Amino acid sequence: MYNGYRFSRKPLTVYNPFGLLKHFDNGGEFQSYWFETGTPTFLITLIKNQHIDIANLENLTVVSDDFRRYDAENMSAVAVLYQSGYLTVSGYNEKLQQYSLDYPNDEVRSSFAGALLGTYIKAPEGEQQTLAVKLSRALEDGDVEGVMGALIPFLASIPYDL
């Protein structure tokens, strides 16, 4: 839940100290504490403006220079995702000198997915969570009609000109 941060070529990962402290402070309750450190509205805007494929944020491939992009005028969304902890090193290809990036753990993956859900589903915030819960339950139960009932409002919210 809180492990997985990796900052070098070596396969050594570390835990998120904030998540661990909150976990033990709440009696060992596993929860997503990631967004208590800040809401990623700037980052989500950057992702939208750069047309980043949010379905393929896992297993991104970058080179060393991609980590050094600090130019405020031409910020790379992928670099900011790494620098802010939403993505971390998941592998290194020595021959190609390329890093693979992925979510560090389930906490970040689920929290970020929730933030993206609110951006891309055009429904009031309370209804977004209801949609996600209905869809999850229907999928878990194998209820095809329930899945379709949950997806239709989402699909209807997509502009036809896309």
Provide the pLDDT confidence category of residue 122 given band limits of 50, 70 and 90: low
Provide the pLDDT confidence category of residue 61 given band limits of 50, 70 and 90: confident
Quick check: 43 pLDDT over 90?
Answer: no
In b/e form, how buried is each residue of 45-68, taking b as 16+ CB within 10 angstroms?
ebbeeeebeeeebeebebeeebbe
87/117 Cα distance (integer angstroms)? 18
Instruction: Count CB atoms within 10 A of the CB of residue 6.
Output: 20
CB 146 within 8 A of CB 134: yes
pTM: 0.72
Give pLDDT tens digits for 3-17. Answer: 888 888 888 888 888
CB 103 within 8 A of CB 59: no
Give pLDDT tens digits for 135-145. Answer: 888 899 999 99
Tell me the mean pLDDT in the region 80-108. 90
Beta strands in 45-106 (DSSP E): 60-63, 88-93, 98-102
The reported pLDDT for the residue numbered 141 is: 92
Quick check: 92 pLDDT over 90?
Answer: yes
Q: Please give the structure tokens belonging to residue 61.
A: 């491939």
Tell me the mean pLDDT in the region 32-56. 78
The reported pLDDT for the residue numbered 38 is: 67
Domain regions of the chain by residue span: 3-120, 122-162
* Residue 112 burial (10 A CB sphere; 0-12, 13-18, 19+): buried
